[in-house]
A and B are shown apart, each in its own frame.
Chain A
Amino acid sequence: MEATRDQLDAGTEDLVLRARQRDADAFAGLIRRYERVALSVAFSVLGNADAAGDVVQDAFLRAWERLGDLKEPARFATWLCGIARNLAIDVHRRGRHVKLSIDAAGSTAASLVEDRWPTDPADELDRREQQAMVATALQSLDEVTRPAVILRYYDGLSSKEIGEVLGMSPAAVDMRLSRARQQLKTLLAPMEQALKS
């Protein structure tokens, strides 16, 4: 049976307390548990997966070094996401990341390990066009709504969990998600029509 979020959080507190005693395995457990959440937050700022991955690495290293500053161990995710968001904003301001349009075209280092032509090239082209369209649609969301959407779609967090990470009420998260979903539906309608045809 899958552990509920409450059980996970109970485990989080224990892991944080052990990590404070410089237990590296406990901290690695925290990384495995919250890496996706931190990636969502960093990606929502940068729009580039590689740069988001770099930021998340840095964020966890900072968290490891400053774990003593965390007053409430159960709120590790909120604290970590704050670090990740600040680092991502810093990187974004310095312009140290590849632009969204490049990433949207699918030119990540990960493509190095993919097969050169995994599918029909025409399908591949269509897939990339769809990705570019989704990237543009996400980019059109405002800076508060975008991380909420990514946390819901990528990590499957509930409104309450998203609210805790982003410092918003669950009702406010619901309202933003509802509007965002409508906006995405409108923006991605041409893609849906193309798929149907």
Chain B
Amino acid sequence: MTEMQPNPLNEPHDVAVREYLSAKLDTQVGRAEAGFRQFLAQQQNRPAPSRRHHFRLPNRFEGWMMGIVGSALAASLAALWAGPSLRQVTPQPRDIASPPSVTQPIFVEQDVQSQTFDDGTFMTDDNTAVRVVRRRDLQRTRWFDQNKNLKGEQVVPQDHVVYVHVKTY
């Protein structure tokens, strides 16, 4: 692209900015390739689309076609709605041990949000100065069960308190 080299950025504020960006963004490097590979794997697992003939009806039949499709759809919905009440259901013994025909994975996502608070300094009974640092974590777990079409979320708050001995002179 070019032979021009950027000026060295070595002053303390330059270093601080560079370190900040590395700390934030280096954790994200590699995600895009992993996502791409996952996307390809999903594409490969999907059944190949069947070849369809695209044809167009003459304009004068389009209205009729819409009407027929609409009526068929309405009839199907009515049958689905009324079906259970019209059909006599005979209870069948159920094999509990048999697995469902198609098992979909359960997606689980977990993240932790943390904040650290400085709760100040205090003196203990033996006149020792102590600084109190409190870290609050919110661990959130979300999952989605495709088989049961269920979503769930659990949030677990946790507080960690650390006492740091402060040197007094």
A188 touching B6 in the complex, CB below 8 Å, given contacts A49-B28, A125-B116? no
Closest B residue to A158 by CB, please name it: B4
Distance from A177 Cβ to chain B, minimum over Cβ atoms (Å): 9
Docked-complex contact A105 and B115, CB < 8 angstroms: yes
Docked-complex contact B37 and A111, CB < 8 angstroms: no
A residues less than 8 Å from B153 (CB atoms): none
Docked-complex contact A36 and B29, CB < 8 angstroms: yes
In the complex, B78 has a CB within 8 A of chain A: no
Docked-complex contact B116 and A154, CB < 8 angstroms: no
Per-residue contact bits, chain A 157-197, to B (CB 8 Å; 1 contact, 0 not): 11111001000001000000000010011001101100100
Per-residue contact bits, chain B 137-169, to A (CB 8 Å; 1 contact, 0 not): 000000000000000000000001010100000
Tell me the chain A residues, 99-156 only, with Cβ under 8 Å from chain B.
Answer: 102-103, 105-112, 116-117, 120-122, 124-125, 128, 130-131, 134-135, 137-138, 149-150, 152-154, 156
Per-residue contact bits, chain A 1-42, to B (CB 8 Å; 1 contact, 0 not): 000111011000000000000001001100110011011100
Q: How far is the CA of A124 from the CA of B114 in the complex (A)?
A: 12
Docked-complex contact B31 and A56, CB < 8 angstroms: yes
Docked-complex contact A161 and B1, CB < 8 angstroms: yes
B residues less than 8 Å from A64 (CB atoms): 36, 39
A residues less than 8 Å from B24 (CB atoms): 43, 49, 103, 108
Docked-complex contact B32 and A122, CB < 8 angstroms: no
Q: Which of A35, A121, A159 has the most CB of B within 10 A?
A: A121
How many residues of chain A are within 8 Å of chain B by beta carbon? Answer: 71
Docked-complex contact A107 and B115, CB < 8 angstroms: yes
A residues less than 8 Å from B162 (CB atoms): 117, 121
Which of B12, B14, B118 is in CB contact (< 8 Å) with A181? B14
In the complex, B23 has a CB within 8 A of chain A: yes
A122 touching B133 in the complex, CB below 8 Å, given contacts A57-B31, A60-B32, A184-B13? yes
B residues less than 8 Å from A164 (CB atoms): 1
Determine the interface band of chain B, counting residues with CB < 8 A from chain A.
35 or more
Q: How far is the CA of A150 from the CA of B28 in the complex (A)?
A: 15
In the complex, B27 has a CB within 8 A of chain A: yes
In the complex, B33 has a CB within 8 A of chain A: yes
Per-residue contact bits, chain B 6-34, to A (CB 8 Å; 1 contact, 0 not): 10010111101110111111011111110
Q: How far is the CA of A32 from the CA of B135 in the complex (A)?
A: 36
Q: How far is the CA of A58 from the CA of B18 in the complex (A)?
A: 26
A residues less than 8 Å from B2 (CB atoms): 5-6, 158, 160-161, 170
Nearest 10 Cβ contacts at the A-B interface: A53-B28, A160-B2, A57-B35, A110-B27, A134-B20, A154-B21, A5-B1, A188-B13, A121-B133, A49-B24
The residues of B with any CB-CB pair to A shorter than 8 Å are 1-6, 9, 11-14, 16-18, 20-25, 27-33, 35-37, 39-40, 110-116, 118, 131, 133, 135, 160, 162, 164
What are 13 A-B pairs with beta-carbon distances under 8 A?
A6-B1, A32-B33, A43-B25, A61-B35, A102-B113, A134-B20, A137-B17, A152-B9, A153-B18, A160-B4, A161-B2, A164-B1, A188-B12
